């Protein structure tokens, strides 16, 4: 899977996406990243990317021409492209959606807006709009990285522990992970539940099931 990020701040991505498991996924050739600078598609000698809103109002909007040119360039480079616009007005993201994106066999193109938003005519050039929650961030970069992380870790071979993505939180869309413990057996008067030390796999499985919280959504 190749993932493209279109942004005015392309330098934001590598420090997050090219660390730890995601870096290893890239090294193994399971995922590839390309960061596209929206500024490169800006208009005129000042590479303008934003302008004031028609009808008045605060702030600046991203102009349609640079955004659409960047999307078109990414689409040309991608295999089976799927374009996602990050916006708090989009459909709410979920683990169910992460699984769909991980299984879809598409290259993903994330369009990360900034300022007060974007010219609405851009929407015609994207396949869907996604929000990571009912709050407003300063840009779509963090949401795009949240989605990329949640999708990449579901690609077979990315996580070290064979089935850990399968068994853990939300994987069936309903249960949250059970509490876990490691050494020491006692930490500041708090002991690890006895059953986990028992070696009785049946009892351990039962305890874990009983101690998995049900998801609220």
Can residue 196 be called a binding residue for ligand ADE (CB under 6 A)? no
Can residue 54 be called a binding residue for ligand ADE (CB under 6 A)? no
Q: Which 8-state DSSP code applies to residue 85? A: E
Write the binding mask 65 to 104 for ligand ADE: x where contact by CB under 6 A, - elsewhere: ---------------------xxx----------------
Rounded least distance, CB 134 to ligand ADE, Å: 7
Nearer of residues 66 and 143 to ligand ADE, judged by Cβ: 143
For 99, the enclosing helix (H) or strand (E) is helix 95-103
Nearer of residues 54 and 135 to ligand ADE, judged by Cβ: 135
Nearer of residues 81 and 90 to ligand ADE, judged by Cβ: 90
Query: Taking CA 41 as the corner, what is the angle to CA 129 and CA 60, rounded to the nearest 5 degrees?
Result: 60
For 35, the enclosing helix (H) or strand (E) is strand 32-37
Can residue 133 be called a binding residue for ligand ADE (CB under 6 A)? yes
- Pairing state between β 190-191 and 186-187: antiparallel
For 5, the 3-state DSSP assignment is strand
Can residue 150 be called a binding residue for ligand ADE (CB under 6 A)? no
Q: Which 8-state DSSP code applies to residue 182? A: -
Can residue 131 be called a binding residue for ligand ADE (CB under 6 A)? yes
Q: Which 8-state DSSP code applies to residue 180? A: -
Alpha carbon 217 to its chain centroid, in Å, reads 19
Summarize as ranges the residues that interact with ligand ADE (CB under 6 A).
86-88, 131-133, 135-137, 140, 143
């Amino acid at each position: 899977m190749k993932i493209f990020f279109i942004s005015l701040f392309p330098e934001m991505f590598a420090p997050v996406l090219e660390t730890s498991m995601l870096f290893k996924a890239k090294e193994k050739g399971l995922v590839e990243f390309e960061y596209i600078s929206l500024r490169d598609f800006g208009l005129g000698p000042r590479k303008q990317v934003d302008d004031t809103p028609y009808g008045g109002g605060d702030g600046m909007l991203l102009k349609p021409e640079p955004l659409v040119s960047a999307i078109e360039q990414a689409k040309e480079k991608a295999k089976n492209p799927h374009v996602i616009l990050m916006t708090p007005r989009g459909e709410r993201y979920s683990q169910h959606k992460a699984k769909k994106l991980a299984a879809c066999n598409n290259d993903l193109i994330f369009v990360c807006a900034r300022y007060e938003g974007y010219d609405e005519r851009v929407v015609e050039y994207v396949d869907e709009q996604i929000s990571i929650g009912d709050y407003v961030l300063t840009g779509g970069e963090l949401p795009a990285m949240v989605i990329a992380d949640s999708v990449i870790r579901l690609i077979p071979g990315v996580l070290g522990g064979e089935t850990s993505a399968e068994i853990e939180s939300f994987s069936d869309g309903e249960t949250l992970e059970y509490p876990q413990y490691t050494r020491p057996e006692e930490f500041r008067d708090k002991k690890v539940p006895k059953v986990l030390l028992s070696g009785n796999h049946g009892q351990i499985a039962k305890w874990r099931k009983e101690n998995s919280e049900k998801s609220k959504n």
